[in-house]
């Protein structure tokens, strides 16, 4: 079973790739659209998937950030997320984000830029260790 591991590919110049995983395609589309509307110095690429694992036949760039979109009204959505999580290395986990779509899109874009290494002074590794320590800032503060 192939597992996505963090930092196992080289980043591409000025491109930040995010993967949104969730059962409800319409929700993923809407979030993708909101994110792409944000002002962003980096070139954004949004991959949408229903579940993991991703089809292996495709040549895809390094994924800087994975977001699992769960519909809390749907058991099906939660089950799908749980099953998909098995394919992601545990060290990948950063936290959860809640809120209105517009603010969420903004936060995700900023996080993505950090993860892609486009923000000077903050690296993806920094972020992992920052969020792991309980005294560190929460995702909302970023």
Partner 1 sequence: MDETVAEFIKRTILKIPLNELTTILKAWDFLSENQLQTVNFRQRKESVVQHLIHLCEEKRASLNDAALLDIICEDVDLFDMKQFKNSFKKILQRALKNVTVSFRETEENAVWIRIAWGTQYTKPNQYKPTYVVYYSQTPYAFKSSSTLRRNTPLLGQALTVASKHHQIVKMDLRSRYLDSLKAIVFKQYNQTFETHNSATPLQERSLGLDINMDSRIIHENIVEKERVQRITQETFGDYPQPQLEFAQYKLETKFKSDLNGSILAEREEPLRCLIKFSSPHLLEALKSLAPAGIADAPLSPLLTCIPNKRKNYFKIRDK
Distance of closest approach, residue 68 Cβ to partner 1, in angstroms = 14
Residue among 23, 19, 29 nearest 78 (CA): 23
Distance of closest approach, residue 60 Cβ to partner 1, in angstroms = 8
**Minimum CB distance to partner 1 smaller for 15 or for 139:** 15
Euclidean distance between the first and final Cα of the chain, in Å? 34
Kindly list the residues in this chain that would bind partner 1 in the complex (CB under 8 A). 19, 22-26, 29, 32-33, 36, 43-51, 54-55, 58, 60, 74, 76
Q: What is the token pair recorded at 57?
A: 């036949």
Distance of closest approach, residue 78 Cβ to partner 1, in angstroms = 13
**Minimum CB distance to partner 1 smaller for 24 or for 122:** 24
**Minimum CB distance to partner 1 smaller for 70 or for 127:** 70
**What are φ and ψ of residue 16, in 5° steps?**
-120, 125
CA 5, CA 66: separation in Å to the nearest integer? 11
Taking a C-beta distance cutoff of 8 angstroms, is the pair 112, 64 a contact? Answer: yes
Distance of closest approach, residue 94 Cβ to partner 1, in angstroms = 21
Distance of closest approach, residue 17 Cβ to partner 1, in angstroms = 9
**Minimum CB distance to partner 1 smaller for 72 or for 141:** 72
Contacting residues for 130 by C-beta, under 8 A, at least 6 apart: 136, 137
**Minimum CB distance to partner 1 smaller for 43 or for 82:** 43
CA 70, CA 87: separation in Å to the nearest integer? 16
């Amino acid at each position: 079973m192939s597992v996505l591991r963090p930092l196992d590919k080289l980043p591409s110049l000025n491109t930040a790739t995010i993967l949104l995983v969730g059962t409800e395609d319409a929700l993923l589309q809407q979030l993708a659209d909101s994110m792409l509307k944000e002002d962003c110095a980096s070139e954004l690429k949004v991959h949408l998937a229903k579940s993991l694992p991703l089809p292996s036949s495709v040549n895809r760039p390094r994924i800087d950030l994975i977001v699992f979109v769960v519909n809390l009204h749907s058991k099906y959505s939660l089950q799908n997320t749980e099953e998909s999580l098995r394919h992601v290395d545990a060290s990948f986990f950063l936290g959860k984000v809640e809120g209105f779509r517009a603010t969420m899109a903004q936060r995700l874009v900023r996080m993505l830029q950090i993860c892609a290494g486009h923000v000077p002074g903050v690296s993806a590794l920094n972020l992992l260790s920052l969020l792991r320590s309980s005294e560190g800032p929460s995702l909302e503060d970023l």
